[in-house]
Chain A
Amino acid sequence: AQSVTQPDIHITVSEGASLELRCNYSYGATPYLFWYVQSPGQGLQLLLKYFSGDTLVQGIKGFEAEFKRSQSSFNLRKPSVHWSDAAEYFCAVGTTGANNLFFGTGTRLTVIP
């Protein structure tokens, strides 16, 4: 069965520092991978997605993610974090034949001045 693991429940970084949020998935074939961000009291906003092709994908707000099949990972990165990036980040996987998305438990990002 497919699953998504986000090993870091909470990460704190300083403003201007780089960021990497980890995501590992379990699925037998090539998955469709997504990162969503949820600001306090808000809905889920799509940051970026991977369906096929170039394994390094660019998203909104300066985020990028790299699909590594050998590691079953899709880590989210940003070179310089802004205070407004403080939010909850969810990795999700979609699969061929299934209509729904499977989400990880999320990583809460705190940004300190």
Chain B
Amino acid sequence: EPEVTQTPSHQVTQMGQEVILRCVPISNHLYFYWYRQILGQKVEFLVSFYNNEISEKSEIFDDQFSVERPDGSNFTLKIRSTKLEDSAMYFCASKVTASQETQYFGPGTRLLVL
């Protein structure tokens, strides 16, 4: 069964550094998402992406964050200058169409900012 994959599984970085989290959505899916889960808290929506542009974003997704689909398969989340509070598990998800069909989640990238 096709899966969403994410790399790396863990990343440790220094505060102020840039990080790029990578995701490969399921191949025939058109809608892509990033969510994050701070330790012990709920999963929170960050951004959705369709047709090479952001379709929706939360208030968490400020100017420090950006997303892109650099090629036909990868979907990346960049944090330009990481803060301590960016430490979290970041999940990528994808789904086929705009209707409320299931979002399939990747295994996540655990980011630790020191």
Contacts and interface: CB of A to CB of B under 8 A. Distances in A.
Interface of A: 32, 34, 36, 42-46, 49, 51, 90, 92, 94-96, 98-106
Given A44-B91, A106-B42, A99 B107 contact: no
Contacts of A102: 45
B102 A49 contact: yes
Secondary structure type dominating chain B contacts:
strand
A43 B107 contact: yes
B108 A101 contact: no
A112 B104 CA distance: 30
Which of B42, B55, B91, B107 gathers most chain A CB within 10 Å?
B42
A45 B105 CA distance: 7
Interface residues of B, number: 25
B75 interface: no
Given A36-B105, A43-B106, A43-B108, A103 B44 contact: yes
Nearest to B107: A43
Contacts of A92: 43
7 contacts: A32-B100, A44-B91, A46-B102, A98-B56, A99-B55, A100-B58, A103-B44
Interface string B93-113: 000001010111111100000
A99 B48 contact: yes
A44 B105 contact: yes
A71 B102 CA distance: 24
A95 B56 CA distance: 14
A100 B105 CA distance: 12
B45 A100 contact: yes
